[in-house]
Structure 1
Amino acid sequence: MVKAVIFDMDGVLIDSEPMWQQAEYQVFRQLGVPLQLADTKQTVGMTTKDVAEFWYRQSPWQGQSLAETEAAIIAKVRQAIARNGQAKDGVVALLQQLQQQRLPIAVATNSAQVLMDTTLDTLGIRDYFAAHCCIEMVEQGKPAPDIYLLAASQLGVAPADCLVFEDSITGIRAAKAAGMQVIALPSEEDWQHEKFKLADGKLRSLLSFELMQYLSDDVIN
């Protein structure tokens, strides 16, 4: 039975994946990496540090460190979120419903704290979350389970009693490794992909999520 809910951020709370793709494309092309915009989909769900290291292995560049590259990507994404960020369909309504049921809520993201803060503040949803977990708080990012275990600990709920919303296979693997139930929110182009069978359920939108079937009797008002 579900006693807490944990949300991934990018692709779940906000449709930021196009922002990430555009930022990575611009930064890496400027460094001489011969990638196309579609190539950025290969690294969806990775930490920004891992993305920089991934493309450096493919096509090493000169003159800019990996840390500087990571910072350049984050700066572009932060600017895009602050200017154009909007909550995905169903996010606010579900957060309100969870709050009404007194279920503790966390966000657990592979993104940097500055992006987590910018997203929560831009969308106006910070106060719904009792725990805010980002990549700087753990030793290993997703697909390691660290950030989900941290979120459960901060909420004071056993991992087995947590329900997670994730859009990437990287995040799904992390949540399953933490011993949690996971609902996948794949992009439309990935809807039929076999990899999402690892999740406990699959939705096209949070609008179609039915909370009551996941609640234990002692949570329902």
Structure 2
Amino acid sequence: MNLSNKKAVIFDMDGVIVDSEKLWKKAEYETFTSLGVKVTEEHSEITKSMTTYEVTKFWYNKFPWKGKDLNTVEQMVISKVISLIETENCEIFGVKSFIEKLKIKNYKIGLATNSPNKIIPIVLNKINILHLFDAISSAEFEEKGKPDPGVYFTTAKKLHIKPENCLVVEDSHSGMLAGKKAGMTVIAFTNGNNKLNFELADYKINCFEKEGMKLLN
């Protein structure tokens, strides 16, 4: 396995650094049902990989509410998620030591997430890894979120590393697709989840602690 031309590792955030899917689900459910939206499991699967604004727009189009604009409702969801992240234990096991080892090996470290920008420092400070990142990007500032590759191109540019010299660590199909579209090598972090299709990925790891470092040695 030759990864000798790789100079940067770019991480997704939700599901890779923090186990936050259940927190987003809870925040969205509470916010949207309070506005009269009938949140279903089926539709929640569709919105899972969207940006927060896209999710808000999705539910508004299905169940238009009155009295609050989309931006206000989006911020309500984000505030709930921040409060849950601050109080819940949601760190992905082994990710901090994995990033520390990558730094020792002189890899540049980036973050490319569909999550809103204001959530990023909350997550990274909670795990005490903010100082380990050389570049941070949110799809909030892109025209489109993942699976569009924009947020990955932006991160590579900030790192001053060519896309083909970047490794991407992703846990979702839309994220892996974004990484592949950007011309990057994709590592699927499965976290023991065998239900998802990881065929898009170049490599697959179940945990950071052992498999992650073995891949890069």
The equivalent of 1:34 in structure 2 is 38
What is the RMSD of the two structures over their aligned residues, measured on CA atoms? Answer: 1.9
**Structure 2 CA distance for aligned equivalents of residues 193 and 86 of structure 1:** 21
The equivalent of 1:95 in structure 2 is 99
Q: Letter of the 2:194 partner, please give it.
A: W
The equivalent of 1:207 in structure 2 is 209
Structure 2 unaligned segments of length 5 or more: list them. none
Change (3 A) 1:123 1:213: closer
8 Å Cα contact 2:18/2:90 also seen in 1: yes
Shift of residue 199, structure 1, vs aligned partner: 1.5
Q: Letter of the 2:33 partner, please give it.
A: R
The equivalent of 2:57 in structure 1 is 53
Aligned length: 213
TM-score (norm 2): 0.90
The equivalent of 1:134 in structure 2 is 138
**Structure 2 CA distance for aligned equivalents of residues 85 and 201 of structure 1:** 28
Q: Deviations over 1:46-71 (max 9, x none)?
A: 10011111122222222221111111
Shift of residue 135, structure 1, vs aligned partner: 2.6
Q: Are 2:194 and 1:191 equivalent residues in the alignment?
A: yes
Note the 1:77-116 alignment, pairs <5 A.
77-116=81-120
Q: Deviations over 1:79-98 (max 9, x none)?
A: 11122244211101101110
Equivalent position SS for 2:31 = helix
**Structure 2 CA distance for aligned equivalents of residues 52 and 213 of structure 1:** 38
The equivalent of 1:166 in structure 2 is 170
Shift of residue 176, structure 1, vs aligned partner: 0.9
Shift of residue 192, structure 1, vs aligned partner: 3.6
8 Å Cα contact 2:10/2:112 also seen in 1: yes
Percent of aligned positions with the same letter in both sequences?
38
The equivalent of 1:219 in structure 2 is none
Q: Deviations over 1:170-194 (max 9, x none)?
A: 1111111101111122465x52433
8 Å Cα contact 1:86/1:123 also seen in 2: no
Shift of residue 131, structure 1, vs aligned partner: 0.5
Q: Letter of the 1:191 partner, please give it.
A: N
**Structure 2 CA distance for aligned equivalents of residues 159 and 104 of structure 1:** 13
TM-score (norm 1): 0.89
8 Å Cα contact 1:22/1:37 also seen in 2: no
